[in-house]
Amino acid sequence: MYFHIYMERNKTSIPYAETGYFSKTVLDYLNGVKELESFYSIPPKETQLKSLIDQRLKYATNRNKLAEALIASYGDIEITKQVKENIEKLKLQNTLTITTAHQPNIFTGPLYFIYKILHAIRLSAYCSQKFPEFNFVPVYFMGSEDADLDELGHIFINGEKLEWKTTQTGAVGRMRVDEELLGLIKRIEAEVNVQPYGAEIMNTMRRCYTLGKRIQDATLQLVNDLFGRFGLVVLIPDNPILKTISVDLFKEELLHQSSSKLVEETAKSLTDKGYKAQTHGRDINLFYLMDSSRSRIERDGEVWKVIDSTIRFNQQELLEELKNHPERFSPNVILRGVFQEMILPNIIFIGGGGELAYWLELKAVFNNFQIPYPMLVLRNSFLLIFEEQQSLLSKTGFSEIEVFRNTRSLQNEWIAKNSEKDFKIDKGLSDINKVYEALSLQAGTIDKTLETHVAALNKKATDKLTQLGKKFLRAEKRNHADAMRQIEKLRQQLFPFDSLQERIDNIMPYYSKHGTELIDLLYQHSNTLEQDFVVLSK
């Protein structure tokens, strides 16, 4: 069995549009707005799954190389029976994958890293029930070749930003655990070890992040420790076996640079329809990858240059390098999805709002390389409300839906509902406007040009009265300072830095209090193809 006894929680589903945290592109995609239909292949609906499966099975996948690469990536890591079985199933022609992708943020980064993976696991189980004649394997595709340490090298613990101060450069996945990173673990231990499951999660972190280990290997082990019992397969694309599958893709990009033009045309079409383009391609959408660098490749006539280096290739030398060292070529955001779908028998890609937005720019690239375009599913989102926040909610009188509004709006509404004082100036404004309306009529009978002067006096008086009303409201807030502080504290805990909880908080403080039951709770309440934001409250 997967699960412990669940913590009792109430589930409230909220339309994404009502949260105020999602873009027009994402909302229109979820609502099936006609203007976006040409930018994807299949809408995220259950009725489309069978045709999606049939379409994908027509495309050949090099399953043996995929399984070989996975076995090599896991190395001597102890894996569960479920993971072993799923790797073996990937060799079978009736096996399909449901994939989510994310970079190897240290210690899993923000909470939505966890939510994405659980969504893939939950949706795979759902598809297995719907179509028992097929196998469905959940996959976490690790963006280990990303070199943006500023994004991946920090976490927030209880509102404090902790940064990995390392001098290493290049792809984050290839970086090594150093003393600075181990120092962060020690710093976090002091904070979470006092909780019931603090030692458990910190022991896991210490076991996975050992001195000298590559970040991608540490991340694989950590994700395997957390989700191996569900059969989740972790795929590290920085693998020479997998790169050999995509040699023809890389060759086409290096020699003909077709993807850039296709993406630019799609981006223009999106912007012409009122949407924001999420990404733009380069002439060559590949990097040259070495242990301490990931550098752009540019073509200058018949010479291919690796930027910020002395490396140069003519065409023959370039093709020899690609043949002998395909692992040195790394796709950027434009080709990453194409590479992913080439090496996996995938039918569904689960991503965040930003990811879905840039995938909508890629359909023409998929068509160009004749690779099936997957169903795009917006990852699950959760707001976790535990006992302390539930107590604050009860005291303030707001619902789970209302709390999505900003702090000032909530404070103003609380005063409006609970104050016994008359601090509103609506009647005063109405009365003064009536006075000036009468004066304007009177002035008009004397000299029409005086009406403008009366209007200016009216505006000045109205502005002053409005400012007085704001002072009344501020004074009344001070009279209820405790309630105002409770509202501010509630918002800070549920929406740190006025952002969604899932985009800031790390899992460690939550796990340290609730253990693996937290994972089970999130799995139990994960949506499959439903399109709502989930609030879990006491």
Share of the chain above pLDDT 90, in %: 82
Ordered DSSP codes for 99-139: EEEE---GGG-STHHHHHHHHHHHHHHHHHHH-TTSEEEEE
Query: Which runs of E-coded beta strand occur in 150-267?
Result: 154-157, 160-163, 233-235
Would you state the pLDDT for residue 443? 80
Q: How confident is the model at residue 7 (pLDDT cuts 50, 70, 90)?
A: low
Q: Look at residue 311 and tell me whether its pLDDT is greater than 90.
A: yes
Distance between CA atoms of 470 and 476, rounded to whole angstroms? 10
Torsion of CA 32, 34, 35, 37, to 10 degrees: 70
Would you state the pLDDT for residue 72? 95
- Give the helix/strand (H/E) hosting 377: strand 375-378
Looking at residues 394-415, what average pLDDT do you find? 92
Q: How confident is the model at residue 465 (pLDDT cuts 50, 70, 90)?
A: confident
Residues 275, 24 contacting (CB under 8 angstroms): yes
Looking at residues 359-380, what average pLDDT do you find? 96
pTM: 0.91
pLDDT digits (tens, 9 = 90+) for 150-208: 999 999 999 999 999 999 999 999 999 999 999 999 999 999 999 999 999 999 999 99
Would you state the pLDDT for residue 457? 83
Q: Look at residue 431 and tell me whether its pLDDT is greater than 80.
A: no
Task: List, in order, residues 6 or more apart from 232 with CB less than 8 Å away.
Answer: 83, 117, 120, 121, 138, 139, 140, 223, 224
Q: Which tokens sit at 182?
A: 């181990």
Would you state the pLDDT for residue 415? 86
Looking at residues 477-482, what average pLDDT do you find? 86
Would you state the pLDDT for residue 80? 96
Q: Look at residue 433 and tell me whether its pLDDT is greater than 90.
A: no
Residue-averaged pLDDT of the chain:
93
Share of the chain above pLDDT 70, in %: 97
Q: Look at residue 4 and tell me whether its pLDDT is greater than 80.
A: no
Distance between CA atoms of 141 and 8, rounded to whole angstroms? 32
Radius of gyration of the chain from its Cα atoms, rounded to whole angstroms: 28
Identity of residue 447: D
pLDDT digits (tens, 9 = 90+) for 224-259: 999 999 999 999 999 999 999 999 999 999 999 999
Q: Look at residue 3 and tell me whether its pLDDT is greater than 70.
A: no
